[in-house]
Chain A
């Protein structure tokens, strides 16, 4: 495979291969994640972007087995997480944590913040006895809250503060990989930046590896070392953020970047307005799933599923016309 020659040598912390998560329904099968492969290197932040229905959230949850994948593998260091028994998986859960989008519904409203953090510690038998209170105080301080906040209930906090609690809970068990599922989408713009800064600091301080699921392209560009662009359960393009954003090589990535509004009224851009909606995952188009909305679609696009092909170091694109479009200057 050509992929070997185009991939950095360091062994990845997480390696996802051909991951599939299908949901059987009475009238068909939803292919929420349909044969997805990518890698996450230790200490990096990888952004997972796509529109609703792209499968990005399901993919994040499948890796943690909060949703059971139906095929493929998700290798964490040398172990395929998908083959682990529930008991074996439990040991891994300490190393893999998740931060949810909605800080309102992901915290138990009847538990005090101290108890919420203690529950996470208890689950994995950490910081027992007299070490407990100082550890909770330390966690709260680290995420920008104060030790006294342990006595309060979630409803006494603002949205941004609640997301800090969610982050403290994830950090409590000293994880290596965090899946952050749209962690700032529910927050006001002025508060988003506080949380993004906090996540960056923590990532550096603890050497965390992060899979950052988001629909906000500018957040991902700013925060993530690499980006994975999904559409209808498949990866369209993935690569280093700087490369993908400065020169997208997949028509979908290009359209996505061209439609995201830029907060500058003097910027005049080439407008690419994609027609129509994302198709039903029950009945995805043949060949390339993006072809029904692609301005460059040709008959050949309907034939086979386009393979992921390298277009640069660690940069892969699934488009059969990518070379042709690059030569003609269209992409």
Chain B
């Protein structure tokens, strides 16, 4: 299987299963997730709370908290030497070496991801010296360069700032500087703009796009925001209750959603231009009924069936497979032809 990794593919997640097992129950947080990420491209994983999108990213990073465990599947990654490694089987030592050099991650909350007791320069310099033989002074210099790269004004001076001196947007820039300090091949961005205001979000998305084109890294972008997906991704993976329900190139997904959940998500996002009748009267939104089921008590068959307007009794039998519904377009719906 490992040889099957196409030359332009950096990461291939195959049938990933990550479970959280407690004495009384099993949470199948990630249940058979498969997707590829090509070099220099951006794939967005989109889903609501409990969809398993963050657990997927933590599984790739090897950062699962107890009792989370990868119980099946492969995470094939092509390292700098060109060797394909299965990160699901990699030792803690190997993962530690990869994190920070080749694979980096930025999180939603930049305040809790930075150490409040050290200056931002110290934190970036530490990151560099951990993975490279270089003097601390030289590392601090590089830290200042990194802050310049992420467009922090007066970067030479700001290296001496503590995180609390900075605004949320600035802190997220520092996180990006920290993540990119060792020029990773893969950046995993888990809701990096969710805690930020829209004007700051636009700055950060712009910055990520620019840095990607300059440094050529691949980005796995985790988000719940379809607007952000439309702006940044090339390929989209839609997750619901631990499974991929739809996967497609971004334009296809928005123009021709082939899973009722994706269609529902797009339809329930308010859109003043669409949601009015010809007389200018507001039409009610079309919400998805019910709520996301708890991951420990999933309904049988298609987990979306209880909320689905297309559902028929057959939907609650077997778990639907991913059907090919177009060029690089997959849908986990028995009734995808109706959409």
Contacts and interface: CB of A to CB of B under 8 A. Distances in A.
Instruction: Decide if A and B are genuine partners.
Output: yes
Interface residues of B, number: 47
Interface in A275-309: 275-278, 293
A185 B224 CA distance: 12
Contacts of A202: none
Tell me if B's interface is mostly helix, strand, loop or mixed.
helix
A265 B230 contact: yes
B291 A190 contact: yes
Interface stretch (B26-34, B72-80, B176-184, B198-206): B198-206
A160 interface: yes
Nearest to B226: A263
A197 B38 CA distance: 41
Contact of A215 (B168, B197, B284, B307): B197
B100 to A, nearest CB: 28
B264 interface: yes
A259 B201 contact: yes
Contacts of B282: 200, 222-223
A196 interface: yes
A324 interface: no
A193 B267 CA distance: 9
A219 interface: yes
Contact of B285 (A196, A255, A256, A276): A196
Interface string A206-237: 00000000010111011100000000000000
B270 interface: yes
Contact of B271 (A191, A194, A222, A241): A222
Given A188-B49, A189-B224, A193-B270, A263 B291 contact: no
A196 B153 contact: no
A30 B270 CA distance: 35
Interface stretch (B84-92, B135-143, B248-256): B248-256
Nearest to B170: A277
A273 interface: yes
A260 B228 CA distance: 9
Given A197-B284, A223-B270, A277-B170, A190 B227 contact: no
B227 A260 contact: yes
A266 interface: yes
A241 B282 CA distance: 12
Contacts of A221: 270, 272
Given A222-B270, A223-B270, A277-B200, A263 B254 contact: yes
A261 interface: yes
B227 A256 contact: no
A160 B255 CA distance: 29
B44 to A, nearest CB: 11
Nearest to A260: B198
Interface of A: 51-52, 158-161, 188-194, 196-197, 200-201, 215, 217-219, 221-223, 241, 245, 255-256, 259-267, 271, 273-278, 293
21 contacts: A51-B197, A52-B197, A189-B269, A190-B264, A190-B287, A190-B292, A193-B268, A215-B198, A217-B198, A218-B271, A222-B271, A222-B272, A259-B198, A259-B202, A261-B230, A263-B254, A263-B266, A266-B254, A266-B255, A275-B203, A277-B169
